[in-house]
Structure 1
Amino acid sequence: SGGQQQRVAIARALAAENPLLLLDEPFAALDALTRERLQEDVRRMAAQAGRTTVFVTHSAEEAVFLGSRIVVLTKSPGTVALDLPITLPRGDVDPEELRGSPEFGELRAEVAHAVKSAAAA
């Protein structure tokens, strides 16, 4: 399945010795349930690996769930519209509790607003 292939690809990337991991829309073609599960896997694995990960996404929810810092760029010439540190708990947190928390909802709304504003600029 697509989800299993994505897991293998991400595991290979994490196994490499590189100090930086770049992921560009890796879950774009997946169904919602598989996407959510892989987000949880990546969040856990990235925290364990302790390396810098740059994750490109157009999803405010995905950015807030996975990010420790979110940068929203405008269209050309690509200036920074938002640079937001994310201070949500990173440890052993139930993913559903995190996604359902008021803090998560507020951050998701702030990022979604910045993305819409940046796209219109």
Structure 2
Amino acid sequence: MLVTFEQTRTYSPLDEFLDSLAEQQLTYYASDLLEKRCCDNIEELGQAVRRATEVCHTMHLPLRENFKVVYRSQNGEVVQDWRLSPMAYLLMVINSDSHKDVVARMQVEMVKRVLNS
């Protein structure tokens, strides 16, 4: 006999409050990077999200404070997007395709700021 257990997560009022606080810091959309030409398409955008979340995992930074999957209407279709904290947004920029001028410029600017501090 095959039995499948599905784990469901229940949210306590404290979890809901913490999510609400975290959401206030999510001031950017990942799709903004498409408009700024950091990524050419949704696949590149997804790769940048993956790399940025890997950085957060490695550094033990809470994802819910930096990323949230959302769904938006675009040209009459519902598409997946991500709301991002300022840190997550910059992580995505520097983890995008370095052949893009705006990405390369950001990477150089960040290195200069580190070296000058």
TM-score by length of 1: 0.29
TM-score by length of 2: 0.30
Please tell me whether Structure 1 or Structure 2 has the larger radius of gyration of its CA atoms.
Answer: 2
